[in-house]
């Protein structure tokens, strides 16, 4: 029996990626596709590559239509999911790709997003063993942010093993332009972005900062503090994150690698690369995979981790489907078997 599925906010980049991936899912039958300001427009006018949806148009966003589905993905701007969720029946399974239900702290929400805190759902970091158990029992799951996914996967094993100082993680991560959404912005024009790198929202003000700290604190059982510098990269999609922190104890590079192998032993999607091989965004393009490499910098006694994901795949749509698979009792890899282009 297939699962009647809706995608609300399907005209955005993450929504389009959901539609693309759902075409290959044998259990999720897309029955409702909505887009607020694009309602009535042809789906292929926004997503021309999705020719399987030729002749179909975006519907208006409607809680009543959502209630005809068994499963709904919300791919809305921050603050919008909380408005519609009150009208959706509690038996409808929901994965929210926005930030509305990720944070536990209402103070952090007010500081980084503004407005009223809508509440907290199960956190959908699907490859983390701590979260996976809860996701399987949930009907409401908050999909992690793209940066938060890459950074949490990179740091979790070393923190859980007690191999690095949790109080001072330094993170530098570059993201493709789709991470900024589809709205037209001068600084995202091709002529502005190409052949250029630029930092933005640095100095502790990026909205994923409290999410990353909350997630890693839950994983490590310790208070986590990060200094996060995001970089806009001249590419449409992908994230490459580098995480460093002071090493704790007299650990070896072998012990560090073993902690990652053991931590992700039951994950089909997180891969510690062979020594000498480095993560590349092209290797995970369009997938739910994360590639990781680790090192022990003996000169400064720091742990160094590099992680590559696709911000629209692992960082958004693919992980949302991964979460939905867990929620619905399907194999985790159902509909997510693609590998990257390199």
SS (H, E, C) 110-147: HHHCCCCCCCCCEECCCCCHHHHHHHHCCCEEECCCHH
Q: Is the Cβ–Cβ distance between 165 and 328 less than 8 Å? A: no
Listed residue (73, 116, 122) closest to 98, CA to CA: 73
Tokens 């063993």 locate to 129
Tokens of 332: 């985790």
Instruction: Give me the sign of the Cα torsion angle 94, 98, 101, 104.
Output: positive
141 beta partners: 95, 122
Question: Which string of DSSP letters, residue by residue, matches 182-206?
Answer: SS--GGGSHHHHTT--EE-STTTT-
Specify whether the CB–CB gap between 305 and 158 falls below 8 A: yes
DSSP state letter for 178: G
The Cα–Cα gap between 61 and 47 comes to 18
For residue 97, give the nearest of 186, 188, 19, 183 by alpha carbon: 19
Classify 119 in phi/psi space as left (phi over 0), alpha (psi -120 to 50) or beta.
Answer: left
Where in the sequence numbering do the catalytic residues fall? 146
φ, ψ of residue 173 to 5 degrees: the values are -140, 135
| Alpha carbons 151 and 178: distance in angstroms, whole number | 18
DSSP E strands in 35-80: the ranges are 71-74
Of 10, 5, 24, nearest in space to 287 by CA: 24
- The DSSP element (H or E) to which 108 belongs, if any, is helix 106-112
């Amino acid at each position: 029996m297939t699962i009647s599925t809706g995608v609300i906010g399907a005209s955005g980049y993450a929504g389009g990626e959901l539609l693309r991936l759902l075409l290959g899912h044998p259990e999720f039958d897309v029955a409702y596709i909505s887009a607020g300001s694009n309602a009535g427009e042809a789906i292929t006018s926004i997503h021309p590559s999705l020719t399987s949806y030729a002749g179909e148009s975006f519907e208006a966003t409607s809680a009543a239509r959502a209630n005809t589905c068994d499963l709904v993905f919300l791919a809305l701007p921050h603050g919008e999911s909380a408005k519609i969720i009150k009208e959706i029946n509690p038996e409808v399974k929901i994965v929210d790709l926005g930030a509305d239900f990720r944070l536990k702290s209402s103070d952090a929400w007010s500081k980084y997003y503004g407005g009223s805190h809508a509440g907290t759902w199960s956190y959908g970091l699907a490859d983390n063993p701590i979260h996976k158990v809860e996701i399987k029992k949930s009907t409401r799951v908050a999909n992690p942010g793209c940066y938060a996914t890459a950074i949490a996967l990179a740091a979790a094993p070393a923190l859980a093993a007690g191999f690095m100082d949790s109080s001072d993680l330094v993170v530098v991560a570059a993201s493709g332009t789709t991470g900024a959404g589809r709205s037209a912005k001068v600084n995202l024009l091709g002529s502005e972005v190409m052949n250029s790198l630029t930092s933005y929202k640095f100095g502790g003000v990026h909205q994923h900062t409290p999410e990353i700290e909350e997630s890693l604190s839950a994983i490590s059982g310790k208070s986590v503090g990060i200094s996060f510098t995001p970089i806009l990269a001249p590419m449409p999609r992908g994230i490459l994150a580098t995480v460093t922190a002071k090493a704790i104890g007299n650990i070896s590079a072998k012990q560090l690698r073993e902690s990652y192998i053991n931590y992700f032993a039951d994950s089909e999607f997180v891969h510690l690369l062979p020594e000498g091989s480095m993560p590349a965004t092209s290797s995970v393009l369009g997938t739910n995979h994360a590639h990781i490499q680790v090192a022990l910098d003996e000169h400064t006694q720091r742990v160094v981790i590099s992680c590559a994901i696709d911000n629209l795949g692992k960082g958004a749509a693919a992980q949302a489907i991964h979460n939905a698979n867990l929620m619905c009792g399907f194999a985790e890899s159902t509909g997510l078997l693609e590998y990257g282009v390199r």
